[in-house]
Chain A
Amino acid sequence: MTTHATPRPGDPAITPALVAEHGITPDEYDRVVAMLGRTPTLTEIGIISALWSEHCSYKHSRPVLKTLPTQAPWVLQGPGENAGVIAIGDGLAVAFKIESHNHPSAVEPYQGAATGVGGILRDVFTMGARPIAMLNSLRFGSLDTPRVRYLVAGVVKGIGDYGNCVGIPTVAGDVMFDAAYEGNPLVNAMCVGLLREEELIRAKAEGVGNPIIAVGARTGRDGIHGASFASEDLSAETEAKRPRVQVGDPFTEKLLLEASLELIRSGHIVAIQDMGAAGLTSSSAEMAERGDVGVTIDTMKVPVREAGMTPYEILLSESQERMLVVATRGREAEVKAILAKWDLVAEVIGEVIAEPVYRVTEGDRVVAEFPGTRLVTDCPQYHPEARESDAAIERRTRDVAAIAEQPEEADPIWTLTRLLEAPTIASKRWIHRQYDSTVRTSTVAGPGHADAAVIRIRGTRKAIAVKTDCNGRYVYLDPRVGGRIAVAEAARNVACTGATPRAITNCLNFGNPKKPEVFFQFREAVYGMGDACRALETPVTGGNVSLYNENPQGAVYPTPTIGMVGVLDDAAHATRMTFTTPGDAILLLGEPREELGGSEYLAWIHGTVAGAPPACDLDAEKALIDAILEAIRAGHVRSAHDCSEGGLGVALAESCIADETHPLGAEVDLSAWPALSRRALLFGETQGRIIVSTSDADAVTAIATRHGVPVYRIGTVRLATDGLTVQVGASRWTAPLATLADAYHGAIPRAMSRAAAETVGTEGVA
């Protein structure tokens, strides 16, 4: 069919330069012209630029993403909706999703991070779920630079101020520091919500004649083109784009949350979606596409904040705290009444129509018209070239065993202490004490206490465990292995609290996909994730792709962040990472190997990111998870802590000192592996290992053995005054806990105390 649209008086001519400015390639432009049978209007160019950006269209990533497993009996909603949903029993379900806000946070860390939190909250409550937990996965450059400290302070404050105000506990996450993220920090926010299965609602426009209603905040000029902005490399020019960044209003968000849940439960609406990236354009086009219906929208009816806004601006605005609702015809008054109760506005701005067309009018003038749902479905898909970079191969194959030890390393306590103060390993208390982690009175294990956060489900015995994870160094050195490890480690963390890993959401942070080495990383990492998700029975329920994470120095480490959700049938089984009782046996489940590649030890002590990352045996990981879960449920486990960055040495120290108020000592003998170098034994990051403390070593050993998991009794929990003693063969070292605790708990506060000069400008503490 042919479509009709009239340019507005004063619209610039559609020139190749204008098309290029909108990030549309000549080939893509030809597709648009073919689709329309005419030259597009400026408004249509704006719409295409937003919807065909990577952020909205996944045009480079979709073919690879399709290889991921997405199904399991407990999955109620897989990818393609605002959030994924899994059943947890008792008629209850959890909705969850992770999303990036990297570029906005690089430009304006406070508002960038805050609006990231706001967006992901809306994705979850538009499924009909009440948000119950927030997580954040953050990557920054080295804390030694003032710019990074400024970013850390602003991002943390932005996350805290938004989530604290809305009243959703921020309970877990992961934070890593590496120069590779300099200038392009990663800010990934995850939200988890709870709903009854029958309350699940999808963002699918249906029912000819049903009104389309804009709800919540008014539309302003902020954030116009945020979606295409998130699909460009960062540069000095981006700094000048500051006005595009949106400002968050958590108070309005809280009202919108309550109003939306009330709307969904009222039965007056058929669909609801956040006006997120690309605002009104993407929400309306995507809802129409899911329902395979036509829609018409009149921009003159959209409540605006500023006079004189054009349809182009109204369609592409990314003003925050707005929703698009498809209501049942005749219920407009009821919908408005619910919004009015929460002091919010609702205006009918369009309707679902029989005619297969996506139409935007400005009063009587048609300013954009696309046939059917082709605006969404005609977006080209690309299969970029993939080729591993020589630099990555060289780094992976480097002989890291040949790196000479520093003289101080003769005393492994020196090395351990230095690693405990590495910001990637050190306590993140400076960060999470700025997050309200106890609001909603359901936090069984909050940040810093367990390998994952545990949230009880009120009215049941159940709890869920949630965690984010990804080691981008591993992925850089070997994308396939790194992708597997990201999933396996998240699953292991969740299992250490006593929860069965159930499903993941992912946030795929990569560089420019048009570079063959980046697309290679992307493809292989996704394949690796798929391998692990299949082996561990944790399907992917959705997520987000963030490409073009680059700065003038190159791409960030490929960082496919995993957000894992697990279920505990009995919240009383929730298990922490710290030792609880002197005299308990300390067991190691799993086996150390000579693996130093990609380790924090090499990076922090030797300034080297090289070598093959540790191997990931997915069958062994599955057996380990099954074993730890059986041991926890049988009541034999007092603490469980996974070995990750910093290896066995750091994991043991953390089990001693992570709980500042109740430190305990330990005496450990690691003489069972004489063939291993001491540094690989203590600081290598071999996967598939958990440190368990127990009063019944025989019972745990029997369970592990039955699952085919190697198990060793390596020591005993001691009093705090005994310190941490490690014996390897004839050598024996003891560290006072105060020294270790000062390194671990003091490192980030000391680094950030230098940042005071940069933080005072950020407003809004209440």
Chain B
Amino acid sequence: MTRFVVSVHIVPRQGLLDPQGKAVADSLRTLGFAGVRDVHVGRHVVLELDAADAASAERAVREMCSHLLANPVTEDFELAGVRPA
């Protein structure tokens, strides 16, 4: 077993109303960042886990996402990185 650090991005599902993202976008524009087109605010989860190899660490985290870490009704997730601890 090797210890891996896996990070996951969880973001509001594309097209879903994201009031927090909208508020951030509005305030960025207020601050003068006129080029801001869209903002989405999600969660970044970093897990440390033991697994046989990187592939099985990744598989385990995908399963965690679909069971608990993300809500399939409203959220998408993507693995942002897998590296040995």
Contact = CB atoms under 8 A, between A and B. Distances in A.
Contacts of B2: none
Nearest to B26: A756
B80 interface: no
B20 A757 contact: no
Dominant secondary structure of chain B at its interface with chain A: helix
Nearest to A757: B27
A756 B24 CA distance: 9
Interface string A385-400: 0000000000000000
Interface in A351-373: none
B31 interface: yes
A760 B20 contact: yes
Contacts of B26: 756-757
A276 B23 CA distance: 36
Dominant secondary structure of chain A at its interface with chain B: helix
A668 to B, nearest CB: 44
A753 to B, nearest CB: 11
Most chain B CB within a 10 A radius of its CB, from A756, A757, A759, A760: A760
Interface in B11-28: 20, 23-24, 26-27
Contacts of A756: 23, 26-27
A110 to B, nearest CB: 15
Contacts of A758: 27
A654 to B, nearest CB: 33
Contacts of B27: 756-758, 760
B47 to A, nearest CB: 19
A434 to B, nearest CB: 15
Contacts of A760: 20, 23-24, 27
Nearest to B29: A757
A757 B33 CA distance: 13
A756 B30 CA distance: 10
Contacts of B24: 760
Interface string B27-45: 1001100000000000000
A570 to B, nearest CB: 45
Interface string A725-766: 000000000000000000000000000000011111000000
A708 B26 CA distance: 60
Nearest to B28: A757
Contacts of B30: 757
A756 B26 CA distance: 9
A155 to B, nearest CB: 19
Nearest to B27: A757
The 3 tightest CB contacts between A and B, nearest first, are A757-B27, A760-B23, A757-B30
Interface of A: 756-760
Given A756-B26, A760-B20, A760-B27, 6 more contacts: A756-B23, A756-B27, A757-B26, A757-B27, A757-B31, A758-B27
13 contacts: A756-B23, A756-B26, A756-B27, A757-B26, A757-B27, A757-B30, A757-B31, A758-B27, A759-B23, A760-B20, A760-B23, A760-B24, A760-B27
